[in-house]
C-alpha cells in the first residue's frame, strides 16, 4: 500500500548522505560502517513516518550525526550541503532577524538589509519540530534536518510559499543512561583571537516510563572585522569635542575584531511513555546571543586615514552590537487509537532582540545632516528592537496506513503578537545645535530625530487534510486541501521628536485586514518498479496580507497606498523521478511555478522606510538533481545540482509622491523580464566521505564538502540612469510628471548591485576509538570571500562636502566565514 517501494528492502535510498556529512539524502538510525548496508530512511514530512523514497515530492534530509561528523553547528552551513537550497549568509548578527533561505529561486529579500524584521513573512517556513519559528538555533542534538521543496500550503499553511525547512530534535531515550561532553577550539583568518565551543549532553531514564534529556553549550568567538575609524566618545557617550563645539573635527580610534560572538544555548525535554499507545514530551529550548557586529567589509578609499580599506576592515564610525533571546516551549502528545494516531502539538515562543546600527552613511548620502546644522562630527545612530511571540495549537489525526485510502486531517490555530520599533539619535548634537541656535529653536532637549513603533497582531484558524487513494500497489493519487481564515491588526506611530510640536504631530496609522481561502494539492505517483517512482504534483503556496505601518497622517506621512499589501500565492507544477540501484540513489525533478502578486521588499519613496509592495506576477522554473552512493566500500559521495530561472513577468510599480502634500503618482521599480533578487541561477553541492577502520578498533573518517553558487543581483531595478546624476552621485530620474527629469520607464535603483559567484570547500578528519573522538577541521579551505549581500556606496558611503562632513563609509559587503582551522575533542559515556 503506501509503503509500496522501499519497505520491502534495505535500500541505499538517500540515506547515503548521513555518511556524507549533510549531503542531500536522509538520516540513518545509527552510524554504521561504510561497508554495511544502510538502513531505511524515515522522515515525517507528510505528518506520518514514511520512507523518504515513498514520498512523492522532492524532499531531502540529513542526519544530526552527519552534521556532527562534518563539525556543522550553523544552519547556513548545514543547508549548503543540501541540494536545492541557497542562503544569504549575513553571519550571526543578523541570522536571527530575517530568514535568508531561498528554495527554487522564490525570494524577495534584497542583499542590502538585515537589521529590520520586515512585514512580509519569509518565502520558506522553518520549523522546530512542529512549531513554525524562525529563531535560527544552534544545531545541537538534532535528529535530522528535512528540506521540503515546493509549496507546502495544505499541511503547513501560510509562509510555506517555496517550501519548508524542518529541524527535528532528538527525543529522550528510555533505554539507558548516556551522555557526551565535547569542546572545539579554533581560529578564523583575520582574527587576533580564538573560537571556543564547549557543550554537554545528558540522557537520563528516570524510570521505565520517564526519561530526561538535556544539552547545553556556548560559543565564544573573537571577531575578524576591524573598525579603523570609530569616533572617540566622552563619558556621556557623545563624540569627543577636541576644541570648539562648533568647529572641532572628530577624534578617531581603531577597534580590532569587533564582530565578537557570545552565544549560550540549551534544551531540556522530558518524555513520558506509560504504554505503547500513548506518549507525551515536554520540551524547552533557549538561546541568548550577544554579537559585537556584522561580518562585513568596506571596499574603496579610506578618506580618514588615506589609502584603501584593507582586508576585513569596515568604515563605520560607531560599533554595531546586537543581542537577542529566543525561547520555545512545546508539549507534544500522541495516542494510538488503532485505526489512527491522534497528535496534539502545543507551543509557545518568544523572540526578542535589540541592535545598534550606524546610519551615518545613509544620512550623508541623502543629505539629511544639513537639516540639523551640518555638524563637523556627524553621527546617526539607530536603535532597533523587536518582540515576536506566539501560541500555536495543532491537532492531527493520521490514519495508520496500509489502507485503500490513507488520510490525514487536522485543526490549526495560532495567535501571534509582533512588535518592533526604532529610535534614531543624532549623537552629540544637543550642545552643537544649541551653540548654533539651529532655526532659532534653542534650547534643544533631545537629540532623537526619529521614533517608529509598529504593533501587529496576527491570528489564523485552519482546517486541513490529505487523502491518498491507493488504486493498486503501484498507482496512488493524493488530494489535499486547507481552508484558512486569518486577520492582521496593525497600529503604527512615527515621530521626529527634535521637531515635535502641536503643529507638527506624530504620524499615525491603523489597519485591520482579514482573509480566507482554500489551498489545494494533487499528486499522482506511479511505482515504475520496486525501486523507482515517477510522480506529478500540483501544489499551492500562500503568504498572508499585511501592513507596512508607515505613517499616513502628520507631516511625515507617506502615500496612503503604501500602508497595506495583499496576500501572494504560487501555483506549482512538478514532475519527478526517484529511485535506487545497488550502489546509487537518485532523484530528479522539473518544476514550473506561477507567482501571483509577489510581495517584494523595497523602500518608501519619501522617507526610505523599509516596505513591501505587490508586483503583478513572476515565474520560476528549473530542475533539481541529486545523486548519492558508494564509489568503494569505504568511499561514499553525494552530489546535488539545481538550476533556477526566475523573472518578473510584469512591471512592478510602487506608490510615490505625497511629499509634504504633493501630487500622488506611481514609480516603476521593476521591469518585466528582470531577475528576482538574491537568487543564484546555478547551485552545486558535493560531499565525500572516506571511512577507514583499523585492526585495533580505531576508525578514521574524512569528510569533504563543497558548495558553489553563481552570480546574483542585489535588488529589483537596475543601475541605468536615464537622465543625469547630481553632485552626490544619485540619479535624477523621477516618476513625477511635473519633474524636469521625468523618466516614467526608469527602474534605476541605487541599492542594485551584481554579486559574483563563489565556491566554499570544507574538510573534517575524525579519529575515534571506543568512547573518544578527536577531530581537526578546516572551513573555507580556499578562503573565498563569498559575498552574499551588498550595501552599496551610493546608499551608505562617504560624503565630505561641508553640508555633511562625513568621512566614514557605511557601504559594506556581507562575506562568508573566512578560513577557519580548529580541533575538537569529545567523550561519550
Does 306 score more than 60 pLDDT?
yes
Look at 4-18, 482-496, 545-559 and tell me which has the smallest mean pLDDT.
4-18
Fill in the DSSP letter of residue 162. Answer: S
Cα gap 531→524, rounded to integer Å: 17
Cα→Cα distances 531→581, 582, 727, Å? 7, 10, 67
Closest CA to 461 of 102, 39, 55, 157: 157
| Residue that has been written with the C-alpha cell 560607531 in this structure | 318
What Rg, from alpha-carbon coordinates, does the chain have?
Answer: 27
- Per-residue pLDDT tens for 55-72? 777 788 888 888 988 889
Does 273 score more than 90 pLDDT?
yes
- How far is C-alpha 367 from the chain's CA centre? 32
Average pLDDT, the chain: 89
Q: How confident is the model at residue 111 (pLDDT cuts 50, 70, 90)?
A: low
Instruction: Compute the Cα dihedral for 79, 83, 85, 86 and give only its sign.
Output: positive
Cα gap 261→75, rounded to integer Å: 16
Does 546 score more than 90 pLDDT?
no
More confident position, 24 or 457: 457
- Residue 737: exposed, middle, or buried by beta-carbon count in 10 A (0-12, 13-18, 19+)? exposed
Cα→Cα distances 252→228, 244, 304, 447, 751, Å? 8, 17, 9, 22, 28
Determine the pLDDT at residue 109. 66
Does 127 score more than 70 pLDDT?
yes
Does 561 score more than 90 pLDDT?
no
Is 695:703 a contact under the CB 8 Å cutoff?
no
pTM to 2 decimal places: 0.90
Is 514:574 a contact under the CB 8 Å cutoff?
no
Number of Cβ atoms within 10 Å of the Cβ of 210:
15
Q: How confident is the model at residue 9 (pLDDT cuts 50, 70, 90)?
A: very low
| Residue that has been written with the C-alpha cell 527602474 in this structure | 747
DSSP three-state, residue 438 = helix
- Per-residue pLDDT tens for 424-449? 999 999 999 999 999 999 999 999 99
Closest CA to 205 of 170, 169, 177, 171: 177
Determine the pLDDT at residue 40. 47
Determine the pLDDT at residue 136. 83
- Per-residue pLDDT tens for 562-600? 888 999 999 999 999 999 888 889 999 999 999 999 998
- Per-residue pLDDT tens for 693-744? 998 899 999 999 999 999 999 888 998 999 988 777 788 999 999 899 999 9
Does 191 score more than 70 pLDDT?
yes
Q: How confident is the model at residue 502 (pLDDT cuts 50, 70, 90)?
A: confident
- Per-residue pLDDT tens for 759-774? 999 999 999 999 999 9
More confident position, 251 or 728: 251
Determine the pLDDT at residue 329. 97
Give every CB contact of residue 351 below 8 A, 6+ residues apart in sequence: 96, 133, 135, 324, 325, 326, 327, 386, 387, 388, 389
- To 10 degrees, the CA torsion angle through 743, 746, 751, 756? -150
Does 1 score more than 70 pLDDT?
no
Is 34:85 a contact under the CB 8 Å cutoff?
no
Determine the pLDDT at residue 82. 86
What distance, in Å, lies between the first and last C-alpha atoms of the chain?
42
Amino acid at each position: 500500500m503506501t509503503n509500496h517501494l522501499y519497505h520491502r528492502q534495505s535500500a541505499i535510498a538517500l540515506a547515503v548522505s548521513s555518511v556524507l556529512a549533510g549531503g542531500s539524502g536522509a538520516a540513518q538510525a545509527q552510524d554504521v560502517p561504510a561497508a554495511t548496508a544502510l538502513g531505511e530512511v524515515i522522515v515525517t514530512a507528510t505528518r506520518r513516518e514514511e520512507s523518504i523514497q515513498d514520498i512523492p515530492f522532492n524532499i531531502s534530509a540529513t542526519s544530526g550525526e552527519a552534521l556532527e561528523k562534518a563539525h556543522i553547528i550553523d544552519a547556513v552551513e548545514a543547508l549548503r550541503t543540501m541540494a536545492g537550497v541557497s542562503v544569504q549568509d549575513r553571519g550571526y548578527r543578523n541570522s536571527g532577524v530575517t530568514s535568508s533561505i531561498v528554495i527554487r529561486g522564490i525570494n524577495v529579500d534584497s542583499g542590502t538589509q538585515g537589521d529590520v524584521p520586515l512585514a512580509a513573512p519569509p518565502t520558506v517556513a522553518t520549523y522546530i519540530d512542529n512549531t513554525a519559528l524562525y529563531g535560527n538555533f544552534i544545531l545541537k542534538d538534532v535528529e535530522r534536518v528535512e528540506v521540503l521543496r515546493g509549496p507546502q500550503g495544505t499541511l503547513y499553511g501560510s509562509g510555506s510559499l517555496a517550501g519548508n525547512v524542518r529541524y527535528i530534535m532528538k527525543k529522550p531515550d528510555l533505554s539507558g543512561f548516556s551522555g557526551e561532553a565535547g569542546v572545539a577550539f579554533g581560529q578564523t583568518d583575520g582574527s587576533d583571537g580564538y573560537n571556543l565551543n564547549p557543550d554537554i549532553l545528558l540522557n537520563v531514564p528516570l524510570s521505565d516510563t520517564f526519561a530526561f534529556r538535556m544539552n547545553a553549550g556556548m560559543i565564544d568567538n573573537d571577531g575578524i572585522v576591524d573598525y579603523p575609524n570609530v569616533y572617540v566618545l566622552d563619558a556621556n557617550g557623545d563624540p569627543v569635542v577636541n576644541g570648539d563645539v562648533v568647529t572641532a573635527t572628530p577624534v578617531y580610534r581603531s577597534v580590532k575584531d569587533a564582530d565578537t560572538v557570545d552565544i549560550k544555548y540549551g534544551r531540556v525535554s522530558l518524555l513520558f511513555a506509560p504504554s505503547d499507545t500513548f506518549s507525551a514530551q515536554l520540551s524547552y529550548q533557549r538561546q541568548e546571543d550577544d554579537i559585537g557586529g556584522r561580518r562585513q567589509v568596506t571596499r574603496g578609499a579610506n578618506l580618514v586615514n588615506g589609502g584603501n580599506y584593507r582586508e576585513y576592515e569596515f568604515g563605520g564610525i560607531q560599533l554595531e552590537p546586537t543581542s537577542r533571546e529566543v525561547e520555545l516551549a512545546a508539549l507534544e502528545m500522541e495516542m494510538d487509537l488503532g485505526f489512527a494516531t491522534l497528535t496534539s502539538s502545543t507551543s509557545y515562543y518568544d523572540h526578542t532582540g535589540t541592535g545598534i546600527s550606524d546610519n551615518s552613511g545613509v544620512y550623508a548620502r541623502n543629505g539629511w545632516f544639513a537639516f540639523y546644522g551640518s555638524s563637523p562630527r556627524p553621527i546617526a545612530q539607530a536603535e532597533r528592537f523587536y518582540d515576536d511571540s506566539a501560541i500555536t495549537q495543532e491537532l492531527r489525526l493520521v490514519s495508520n496506513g496500509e489502507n485503500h485510502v490513507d488520510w490525514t486531517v487536522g485543526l490549526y490555530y495560532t495567535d501571534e503578537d509582533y512588535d518592533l520599533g526604532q529610535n534614531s539619535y543624532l549623537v552629540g548634537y544637543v550642545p552643537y545645535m544649541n551653540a548654533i541656535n539651529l532655526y532659532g529653536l534653542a534650547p534643544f532637549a533631545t537629540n532623537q530625530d526619529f521614533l517608529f513603533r509598529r504593533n501587529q497582531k496576527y491570528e489564523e484558524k485552519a482546517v486541513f487534510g490529505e487523502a491518498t487513494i491507493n488504486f493498486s500497489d503501484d498507482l496512488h493519487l493524493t488530494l489535499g486541501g486547507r481552508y484558512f481564515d486569518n486577520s492582521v491588526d496593525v497600529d503604527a506611530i512615527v515621530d521626529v521628536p527634535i521637531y515635535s510640536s502641536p503643529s507638527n504631530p506624530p504620524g499615525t496609522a491603523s489597519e485591520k485586514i482579514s482573509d480566507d481561502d482554500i489551498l489545494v494539492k494533487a499528486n499522482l505517483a506511479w511505482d515504475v518498479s520496486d525501486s523507482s517512482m515517477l510522480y506529478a504534483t500540483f501544489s499551492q503556496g500562500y503568504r498572508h496580507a499585511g501592513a507596512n505601518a508607515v505613517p499616513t497622517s502628520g507631516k511625515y506621512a507617506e502615500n496612503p497606498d503604501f500602508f497595506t499589501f495583499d496576500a501572494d500565492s504560487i501555483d506549482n507544477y512538478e514532475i519527478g523521478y526517484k529511485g535506487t540501484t545497488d550502489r546509487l540513489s537518485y532523484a530528479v525533478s522539473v518544476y514550473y511555478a506561477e507567482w501571483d502578486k509577489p510581495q517584494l521588499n523595497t523602500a518608501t519613496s519619501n522617507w526610505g522606510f523599509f516596505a513591501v509592495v505587490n508586483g503583478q506576477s513572476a515565474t520560476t522554473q528549473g530542475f533539481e538533481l541529486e545523486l548519492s552512493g558508494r564509489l568503494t566500500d569505504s568511499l561514499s559521495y553525494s552530489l546535488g545540482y539545481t538550476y533556477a530561472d526566475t523573472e518578473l513577468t510584469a512591471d512592478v510599480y510602487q506608490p510615490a509622491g505625497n511629499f509634504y502634500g504633493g501630487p500622488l503618482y506611481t514609480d516603476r521599480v521593476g521591469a518585466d523580464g528582470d531577475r528576482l533578487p538574491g537568487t543564484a541561477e546555478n547551485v552545486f553541492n558535493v560531499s565525500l566521505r572516506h571511512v577507514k577502520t583499523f585492526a585495533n578498533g580505531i576508525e578514521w573518517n574524512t569528510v569533504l564538502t563543497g558548495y558553489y553558487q553563481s552570480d546574483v543581483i542585489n535588488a529589483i531595478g537596475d543601475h541605468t540612469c536615464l537622465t543625469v546624476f547630481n553632485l552626490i552621485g544619485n540619479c535624477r530620474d523621477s516618476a513625477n510628471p511635473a519633474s524636469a527629469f521625468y523618466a516614467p520607464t526608469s527602474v534605476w535603483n541605487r541599492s542594485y548591485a551584481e554579486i559574483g559567484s563563489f565556491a566554499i570547500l570544507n574538510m573534517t578528519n575524525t579519529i575515534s576509538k571506543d568512547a573518544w573522538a578527536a577531530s581537526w577541521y578546516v572551513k573555507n579551505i580556499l578562503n573565498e570571500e563569498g559575498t552574499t549581500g551588498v550595501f552599496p556606496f551610493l546608499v551608505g558611503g562617504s560624503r565630505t562636502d561641508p553640508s555633511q562632513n562625513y568621512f566614514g563609509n557605511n557601504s559594506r559587503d556581507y562575506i562568508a566565514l573566512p578560513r577557519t582551522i580548529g580541533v575538537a575533542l569529545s567523550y561519550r559515556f
